[in-house]
Amino acid sequence: MRPAGTAAGSDAAAETGRRRRWIVVNEPVLVPGESVVWWWGADWRVSWWRTLGGRLLLTSQRLYFVPLIRTTSWSIPLVDIAEVAIEKRPFNLEISGLKTRLLIAGADGRCARFLVGDVDEVSAGIAGRSTKTVVVL
Q: Judge residue 24's burial from the number of C-beta atoms within 10 Å of its C-beta, 0-12 exposed, 13-18 middle, 19 or more buried.
A: exposed
Contact yes or no for 120/136 (Cβ under 8 A): no
Domain span including residue 125: 31-136
Question: Strands 51-59, 62-67: parallel, antiparallel or unpaired by DSSP?
Answer: antiparallel
Question: Region 122-136: what's the mean pLDDT?
Answer: 79
Q: Is 64 contained in some domain?
A: yes
| pLDDT at res. 17 | 46
Domains in the chain, number: 1
Do the domain assignments include residue 102? yes
Using the predicted structure, report yes or no on whether residue 126 has a pLDDT greater than 60. yes
The answer to the question of residue 2 being in a domain is no
In the predicted model, what is the mean pLDDT of residues 33-51? 87
For residue range 57-104, list pLDDT tens digits in order: 999 999 999 888 777 888 999 999 999 999 887 565 555 556 788 999
Q: Can you tell me the distance from the alpha carbon of 11 to that of 60, in angstroms, rounded to the nearest whole number?
A: 34
Residue 66 maps to a domain: yes
Do the domain assignments include residue 25?
no
Q: What is the pLDDT of residue 98?
A: 62
In this prediction, residue 6 carries a pLDDT of 37
Indicate whether 33 pLDDT > 80: yes
pLDDT higher than 60, residue 11: no
Distances (CA, A) of 49 to 5, 44, 75, 93: 38, 11, 21, 17
CATH number at residue 68: 2.30.29.30
Q: Categorize the per-residue pLDDT at 13 as very low, low, confident or very high, splitting at 50, 70 and 90.
A: very low
